Structure 1
Amino acid sequence: MYKISDLLPNLKKVHHNLPVSKLVEEAVKRGEGVLLENGAFLVHTGKYTGRSPEDKFIVDSETVHDEVWWDNNKPISEKNFLNLLYRMQAYFQNKDVFVFDGYVCADQNFKRPLRVITEYAYQSLFARQLFIREKINEGFSPEITVICAPGFKADPKIDKTNSEAFIIIDLEKKIILIGGTQYSGEIKKSVFSLLNYIMPKMGVFPMHCSANIDDNNNTALFFGLSGTGKTTLSADPDRKLIGDDEHGWSDNGIFNFEGGCYAKCINLSKEKEPQIYNAIKFGTILENVDYSEEDRIPDYTSNYYTENTRAAYPVEYIPNAVIPGIGGHPKQVFFLTADAFGVLPPIAKLTKEQAMFYFISGYTSKLAGTERGITEPKATFSACFGAPFLPLHPYVYAQFLKEKIEKFGTDIYLVNTGWIKGPYGIGERINLNITRAIIKAALCGFLKNAEYEREDVFNLMIPKYCPQVPSEILNPQNCWQDKKAYYEYAIKLKNSFLANASKYNLPVEILK
């Protein structure tokens, strides 16, 4: 618990918990971005338009050394952490800062006080909209502190960083230092990384997933990497949104870590995603979206700055959002993957062991042409659907999943939102309406006791019938014209899964 003056002495002025209108006013006045016709505040983040994983470090202190999954995390010494903090203190002298005091974790039993200190007004607005806003008592004392200074650049020779940018998490002190990058997602995800360390110690399963709920308190979770439909499918007009990205699962049920959403908005349209589209209004921050300077109308189809265009807004901007973001124990969990090989079924029901395997795998695929050198679909894996944010070994989180589904009888489904009838370039992308129908059939309980057949490469159980879904596409091999090619692609993907799993020394029963 640190005072602002202790961490950053000799400040010029502290702008503390300013309202949205004042923060927007300050951001405009300081030239941080522009107001668009729809009321959103647009910023362009310069060189960094996404997270910078090579610039993220965990402080290697004696207290945490034996706990951290170092295969996945880069260490930095306590001495270098403190040196960077001292240099940031010098940078901030005689400068204005913006401070957001709020919370993370919607469940009162696990709520943690949070302070975010930023150089820019709009990043304070980002924190205000993304985290939990509550009236702050006089005795407020933050457990977690974030200091963000995009204008302060590290010197790799002095600071032992990889570049001018850095995201450094001290798990012991619960302080996060961010510099050299203006991408606001670093604030959100570094706090999530810290919660992935704190929550397991409190008996809570931290999850990189979205969540929604129906009128009968039936909760569902959606895991998936970028581009698999996690945000789109959870923003269901027939259900209430709990949150779009980060949750905890305790013995009481699930709860949102945040108070806002950070949605991708490339190719966003009012017709396909009306809830997200209509949430972009005054108080929303748009990052790296192109726009017409003449009429200040955003162009969501443009990737001029990046494919990773983003909108940050409070969860209450979504109609029927659940406030506070709390739900019961989930009846269904969906693992979403955009399989560009076209060999995974549109939906499969997983055993407990398969659930652990596919959870640890965290699979989706990259498309040909999306990165230099990729000429055909490429399998990509991110443990627990969020490896960059895991300070602990994936098996720690997989054990939590196993315990929860055993205790609460949750059904786990693998859902392919990618390709069928062939790989990318030959087959076709599964229609969003078909995926919605599949999800609906699972949510209403139809798929719980449906008749299943076993697929012979991945050993997956596939329903023989699903309402409003063409039966011929449910088993992918049935709709490939070239059956030999199907098996070649399927076996290649299966071998990629097994090669990835070999890194984790998993029990034999999970690998069957």
Structure 2
Amino acid sequence: MNPVNFANNLKDLLNGQNVHVQLSVPQLVEAATSRGEAVLTREGAVKAETGKYTGRSPKDKYIVEEDISKDKIDWGAVNRPISSDVFENLYNKVIEHLKQQDALYVFKGFAGADPESRLAIQTINEYAWHNLFAHQLFIRPTAEELAAHEAEFTVVYAPTFQADPAVDGTDSETFIIVSMEKKIILIGGTEYAGEMKKSIFSIMNHILPEKGILPMHCSANVGHEGDVALFFGLSGTGKTTLSADEDRKLIGDDEHGWSDNGVFNIEGGCYAKTINLTREHEPQIYDAIRFGAVLENVVVDDDTRIPDYHDGSLTENTRAAYPIQAIDNIVDPSVAGHPKTIVFLTADAFGVLPPISKLTKEQAMYHFLSGYTSKLAGTERGVTSPEATFSTCFGSPFLPLHATVYAEMLGQKIDEHGVDVFLVNTGWTGGEYGVGSRMKLSYTRTMVRAAIKGELHDIETDKEEIFGLQIPKQITGVPSEILNPRNAWADKEAYDKKAKELSQEFQENFKKFGTVSADISVQGGPAKI
């Protein structure tokens, strides 16, 4: 099949009598509830369940091996190749499946709040609630922008179409296939709406570096003086909590680009975890879940329609999707200047890393590539003691290119804009998990605010021996005895042993990057012991 046939097939589908384009939020809410896809909560949010799949399906994700991209993609366990023939066969089947549905929903919008580099996208959805999700998560066009909108990438999403692995060349009934050449993302066999969000992010991670723009899996905020801060961190490290600051405006909570103009949000909404959500601890998220928001797999009382955010019986990965405008303290549009501060967050359950340390550019690139945090005992079946876990660039499932492409770009931008970079441990102090205690959030907030205000720029530091980290000797409002983690341990020999073990985990993980410059691998990483 050639590109003209692809374009014609898509045009035929969109011209069908069953197609509804750019419905409003109330219209999509009505469609989702009247069709039995979802129910309304007391606050007016749409609540849907995703059945078998309550999270992403990374083993069912593929990239089509095409001339345009095959020499650029970092092929492997994350970026799995699939042939054009398999893709085209499934594409034809999905198109025919969608033509038979009683209704299809189309959203037209953008990824990227910077008009100079944004990507025009559209989603074609079998479910109204999926289309509502896309409407809330991506950037909504003005009437003028909509009139001139021509999609560069299209998401074709057929959750009720299941592949036959024996015939269709997939590993299961589920598939998420990206064709860079045809500019199509084909999704089927799963109802988990987050596949749309992450697929578009993966596309941006592919195309933005070619424009000299660094795509980043991070949150971002800005102060009254225009001082931008970025927060990188895996789940459980406190990224959402620490980036939500009443004295600073939120740029975005998850995906950003860093161009020659500054930082911009890739999305137009937020996709927040809601397990154990309370207004006391996460007031912005709690209050944003109102009419038009989408709740995924949250248990809701049948009679009162009150969500129970503490009930994880469907999944621990309960989610809420809502437009960023549902939060009061934001930048709108979601663009700002160049960052002055970058914060890498880790929840080190080994109690080894300092609560805060200042990184050199080489250390920043090393820790960016490493993307370290730790799993706790009991969080997953079989995890009986803390385990180191690494996610490259704090977003390994979404990186089509080799990780060093993103790290090199980060290093260049740190140099160009004189950015201060800090590693912040929100995990344990005084001993590993089960011995020590969790770092107090109030201390972490104080340290992060001091870093962002520039108070740690020229302070006196001690050098930690194993990781080579520069530790502030004192920070106003934080007990000095906790700043150096070795001093916080009663058993110094036990600390030394645990620190050496963790450094070896870092070094073993770093081997996967192959030939990385000595500036990063030697100057940026822990000393070989």
Judge same fold: TM > 0.5, yes or no: yes
1:379 Cα deviation (Å)? 0.8
Q: In structure 2, what is the equivalent of residue 318 of structure 1?
A: 327
Q: In structure 2, what is the equivalent of residue 130 of structure 1?
A: 137
For 2:122, the aligned partner's letter is R
Which string of whole-angstrom CA distances, capped at 9 and with x for unpartnered residues, describes residues 72-128 of structure 1? 310000110101101101211231111000111111111221101111101111101
For 1:472, the aligned partner's letter is E
- Distance in 1 (CA, whole Å) between partners of 2:488 and 2:146 is 61
Q: In structure 2, what is the equivalent of residue 81 of structure 1?
A: 87
1:9 Cα deviation (Å)? 6.8
1:3 Cα deviation (Å)? 6.7
1:457 Cα deviation (Å)? 1.4
Alpha carbons of structure 1 residues 10 and 217: separation in structure 2 relative to 1, 3 Å? closer
Q: In structure 1, what is the equivalent of residue 128 of structure 2?
A: 121
Alignment partner of 1:50 is 2:52: no
Q: In structure 2, what is the equivalent of residue 35 of structure 1?
A: 40
SS in 2 for 1:8: helix
Q: In structure 2, what is the equivalent of residue 180 of structure 1?
A: 189
For 1:297, the aligned partner's letter is I
Which of 251, 262, 281 aligns to 2:260? It is 251
Equivalence map 1:106-505=2 (5 Å): 106-135=113-142, 136-505=145-514
1:63 Cα deviation (Å)? 2.0
Range with bigger deviation, 288-297 or 144-153: 288-297
For 1:102, the aligned partner's letter is G
Q: In structure 2, what is the equivalent of residue 511 of structure 1?
A: 521
| Aligned-residue RMSD, C-alpha | 1.5
Which string of whole-angstrom CA distances, capped at 9 and with x for unpartnered residues, describes residues 427-483 of structure 1? 222222222111111111111122111111111111111222222111111111222
- Distance in 1 (CA, whole Å) between partners of 2:345 and 2:254 is 13
- Distance in 1 (CA, whole Å) between partners of 2:146 and 2:58 is 36
- Distance in 2 (CA, whole Å) between partners of 1:467 and 1:276 is 30
For 2:519, the aligned partner's letter is E
Alpha carbons of structure 1 residues 483 and 120: separation in structure 2 relative to 1, 3 Å? same
| 1:166–1:179 CA contact under 8 A, matched in 2 | yes
SS in 2 for 1:413: strand
| 1:228–1:336 CA contact under 8 A, matched in 2 | yes
- Distance in 1 (CA, whole Å) between partners of 2:362 and 2:450 is 23
| 1:205–1:249 CA contact under 8 A, matched in 2 | yes
Alignment partner of 1:105 is 2:105: no
Range with bigger deviation, 28-37 or 325-334: 28-37
| 2:159–2:189 CA contact under 8 A, matched in 1 | yes
- Distance in 2 (CA, whole Å) between partners of 1:335 and 1:9 is 44
For 1:20, the aligned partner's letter is V
Q: In structure 2, what is the equivalent of residue 90 of structure 1?
A: 96
Range with bigger deviation, 29-38 or 76-85: 29-38
| 1:266–1:307 CA contact under 8 A, matched in 2 | yes
Alpha carbons of structure 1 residues 470 and 81: separation in structure 2 relative to 1, 3 Å? same
Alpha carbons of structure 1 residues 323 and 10: separation in structure 2 relative to 1, 3 Å? closer
| 1:59–1:81 CA contact under 8 A, matched in 2 | yes
- Distance in 2 (CA, whole Å) between partners of 1:472 and 1:132 is 47
**Paired residues, number:** 512
1:7 Cα deviation (Å)? 6.3
| 2:240–2:253 CA contact under 8 A, matched in 1 | yes
Q: In structure 2, what is the equivalent of residue 26 of structure 1?
A: 31
TM-score, normalising length: structure 1: 0.97
Range with bigger deviation, 353-362 or 318-327: 318-327
| 1:56–1:166 CA contact under 8 A, matched in 2 | yes
For 1:508, the aligned partner's letter is A
| 1:344–1:416 CA contact under 8 A, matched in 2 | yes
Percent of aligned positions with the same letter in both sequences? 56
1:17 Cα deviation (Å)? 0.6
| 2:268–2:323 CA contact under 8 A, matched in 1 | yes
| 1:133–1:259 CA contact under 8 A, matched in 2 | yes
SS in 2 for 1:324: coil
Range with bigger deviation, 324-333 or 12-21: 12-21
Alignment partner of 1:16 is 2:21: yes
1:298 Cα deviation (Å)? 1.2
| 2:68–2:180 CA contact under 8 A, matched in 1 | no
Range with bigger deviation, 270-279 or 321-330: 270-279
1:140 Cα deviation (Å)? 2.0
| 2:393–2:407 CA contact under 8 A, matched in 1 | yes
Which segments of 5 or more consecutive residues in structure 1 lack a partner in the other structure? none
For 2:92, the aligned partner's letter is Y
- Distance in 2 (CA, whole Å) between partners of 1:304 and 1:421 is 35
For 1:134, the aligned partner's letter is P
- Distance in 1 (CA, whole Å) between partners of 2:392 and 2:64 is 22
Which string of whole-angstrom CA distances, capped at 9 and with x for unpartnered residues, describes residues 264-306 of structure 1? 1112111111111111111111111123223221111221111
